[in-house]
Structure 1
Amino acid sequence: MNVLFMAYGTPYQRSETLPYYTDIRRGRPPTQELLEELEERYRRIGRSPLNEITYAQAVRLEAALNATLPLFPEPLAASPGPRVQGPARVYLGTKHWHPFIAEAVKAMAQDGVKQAVGIVAAPHFSGRSIAEYQEKVTQALAELGDPFEIRFVEEYYDHPGYIRAVATRVVEQLWRLVEPQKALFLFTAHSIPERAAQDGRYPGQIRATAALVAQTLGLLHWDTAWQSAGRTPEPWIGPDINQKLEEAQAAGYREVVVTAVGFPSDHLEVYYDLDYEAQNTAQKLGIRLLRTRSLNADADYIEVLRDIVARKWREFEP
């Protein structure tokens, strides 16, 4: 089994911020103002742990896959039990920094890979996220003469294990609330341009995830909100989390729990948008804001990835 595990990527040090931001902007260097704004955000949060978390996810996914796959074509009569090293190989490629997706695809081709499953560490499909990852893979394969076949996992926003993992983390915050029955639960995801959301697929999936978690826990008051809108002239979908907090305060809510369902891993946009910016907004409004911890490379999330990848791999079977 071969897996191409993909994530967003982030710079390792300050000198890499400019080329990283330029790649995000499709080769157009940012203005000095935009660059300084991004660097200031990094200064405020310290440093994004995204690369380390993504690497841990890939390593643990490979271990989980090998712990459930036999090392031989046929199971032994007396199995020696699960082992970590085995036939499953997980390659890591990121969208905007090293190791780039094209670099991972090249490594897979050099290793003689003939079939692979591609999965992005994002549960919801949109043309501005999953589709762009797929395009990068397809382009990299074409440049190499299409050395192997790949099948993509497009979404897993309603996977029972994923819903259960998110719900578990929301429950942790339920314990901390003074009046749980009167609290508002907000589920956030990365905003995208309105034109990219016209088919309703992406916002519909975010809403579906939130509804499933709310149903699982019996939450009385819940809604969705958006964060991390791009700095472009075109309109992006909303309402933004800060606007939603203002609406919550006007509606009489004094406690809000926010869950970044669109972001499995901690990184800049979770730390800055929620832990810094939204937290400052909440304090000004007199709201107590709690954030659920991210899935990161925790065992329950890795099991979700393992199950999804294994199911997709079976499509290659006759």
Structure 2
Amino acid sequence: MPDALDAHPYDALLLLSFGGPEGPDDVVPFLENVTRGRGIPKERLKEVGQHYFLFGGVSPINDQNRALLDALRKDFAEHGLDLPVYWGNRNWAPYLTDTLREMVADGRRRILVLATSAYASYSGCRQYRENLAESLATLEAEGLELPRVDKLRHYFNHPGFIQPMIDGVLKSLAGLPEDVRAGAHLAFTTHSIPNASADTSGPVEDHGDGGAYVKQHLDAARLIADAVREETGTDHPWQLVYQSRSGAPHIPWLEPDICDHLEELHGAGVPAVVMAPIGFVSDHMEVMYDLDTEAKAKAEELGLPVRRSATVGADPRFAAAIRELVVERAATESGRDVKLCALGALGPSHDVCPVGCCPARAPKPAAAGADSPYA
């Protein structure tokens, strides 16, 4: 048996994700959950849902979360970390509030949260914290004893997140025709967000010019590109580009879009491209549709050879990284010395989101931060 790892004071880990439909009848209700409060007509939601209907109305994200749950539980058991792992979603079953209610019934009182987003941003961090606060308020109204909830730090530069993506890019390069491989460019993709949201992402000192969101992605992309150069002996030019824009046309969002970028590279004579979705933890719908469907169709139209590298998903190295982050945070909370693991120029992220971090346009209570009403 492995030596037991110490998770004290925590007694559970919560995998917190976005959620997705698991059949055609789920698509519109799921999108209603996602867009609640925006007044979007049902007919418009049906149009938006065509992405899901192309895949039978099923988002891959829930199965991918099940695989990650299995990987985490397996890794924890193999390394002597006695910590149960639960799963809750923002927008579809299993719903976050239901999962927290179950955890309270099971006697869990100190909960660590793993969000399936590696970077700082409103939608990738604070919105999850707002969801936690909403769920805790519901439990409080029900008269339940509230657990203390903490969130694991951003893991965009942890070796267990970076290394699987390095291997994915190397595999994709190897899959290109040999005559275009050496000249291939790397397009590191992430979700486009409004410029205003990017500029205010991360702590206040990081605000401006893309904020922590852009800085963190550039740091991860540089780590991967440098490792690929060391492994192959070839310096592949690279750029951070964006996908999955969903906002009104008049509002500035981060650019360039991946399809526009492919057109630009083709026009410049670039012989091939590897698309690496570093902004996503798993191959969910936005990866499968926006890259595997739309971007690949654009590449075919241009006659441009492309490959799309894998996300980290349930890679054992990612599961091991989460274990290391759990043990690290437990040690910090217990006052024990611990070395924080991080690659790149930015160093390890903060454990507790400070006041002013990734602010919302309309302020809402957010748990697991310095401004939490549930300390």
TM-score, with length taken from structure 1: 0.89
Worse overlay, 21-30 or 278-287? 21-30
Is contact 2:28-2:49 (8 Å) kept? no
Aligned to 1:31: 41
Question: Quick one: distance in 1 between partners of 2:331 and 2:130?
Answer: 23
Amino acid at match of 2:188: F
Aligned to 1:120: 115
Aligned to 2:129: 134
* Paired residue secondary structure (2:129): helix
Aligned to 1:81: none
Aligned to 2:349: none
Question: Quick one: distance in 2 between partners of 1:251 and 1:45?
Answer: 34
Is contact 1:21-1:30 (8 Å) kept? no
Deviation string 1:77-103 (CA, Å, 9 cap, x unpaired) is: xxxxxxxxxx31111011111112222
Question: Quick one: distance in 2 between partners of 1:7 and 1:283?
Answer: 33
4+ long deviations beyond 6 Å: none
Q: Offset at 1:32? A: 4.5
Worse overlay, 206-215 or 230-239? 230-239
Aligned to 2:27: 17
Of residues 66, 88, 91, the one that matches 1:93 is: 88
Question: Quick one: distance in 1 between partners of 2:306 and 2:173?
Answer: 12
Of residues 211, 219, 242, the one that matches 1:226 is: 242
5+ long unaligned stretches in structure 1? 71-86
Q: Offset at 1:44? A: 2.5
Aligned to 2:166: 167
* Paired residue secondary structure (1:206): helix
Report percent identity of matched pairs: 30
Q: Offset at 1:310? A: 2.3
Superposition map of 1:249-264 within 5 A: 249-264=266-281
Is contact 2:111-2:149 (8 Å) kept? yes
The yes-or-no answer on 1:181 pairing with 2:182 is: yes
Deviation string 1:122-149 (CA, Å, 9 cap, x unpaired) is: 2111112211111111232233346221
Of residues 205, 211, 218, the one that matches 1:207 is: 218
Q: Aligned in 2, Cα 1:36/1:144: closer, same or farther, shift over 3 Å?
A: closer
Is contact 1:2-1:115 (8 Å) kept? yes
Aligned to 1:287: 304
Question: Quick one: distance in 1 between partners of 2:223 and 2:132?
Answer: 32
Aligned to 1:278: 295
Deviation string 1:33-89 (CA, Å, 9 cap, x unpaired) is: 53233332123344322111101212321231232226xxxxxxxxxxxxxxxx311
TM-score, with length taken from structure 2: 0.76
Aligned to 2:227: 216
* Paired residue secondary structure (1:252): coil
The yes-or-no answer on 1:297 pairing with 2:324 is: no
Q: Aligned in 2, Cα 1:254/1:211: closer, same or farther, shift over 3 Å?
A: same
Aligned to 2:78: 67
* Paired residue secondary structure (2:88): strand
Amino acid at match of 1:186: A
Aligned to 2:155: 156
Deviation string 1:140-183 (CA, Å, 9 cap, x unpaired) is: 22333462212212311111221111101111112122233210
* Paired residue secondary structure (2:54): helix
* Paired residue secondary structure (1:116): strand
* Paired residue secondary structure (1:63): helix
Of residues 307, 312, 318, the one that matches 2:329 is: 312
Question: Quick one: distance in 2 between partners of 1:33 and 1:201?
Answer: 37
Is contact 2:24-2:53 (8 Å) kept? no
* Paired residue secondary structure (2:189): strand
Q: Offset at 1:232? A: 3.0
Question: Quick one: distance in 2 between partners of 1:106 and 1:6?
Answer: 14
Q: Offset at 1:300? A: 2.1
Deviation string 1:2-24 (CA, Å, 9 cap, x unpaired) is: 10111111011111212211111
Aligned to 1:54: 65
Is contact 1:187-1:258 (8 Å) kept? yes
Amino acid at match of 1:175: A
Q: Offset at 1:294? A: 2.4
Aligned to 2:262: 245
Question: Quick one: distance in 2 between partners of 1:34 and 1:308?
Answer: 41
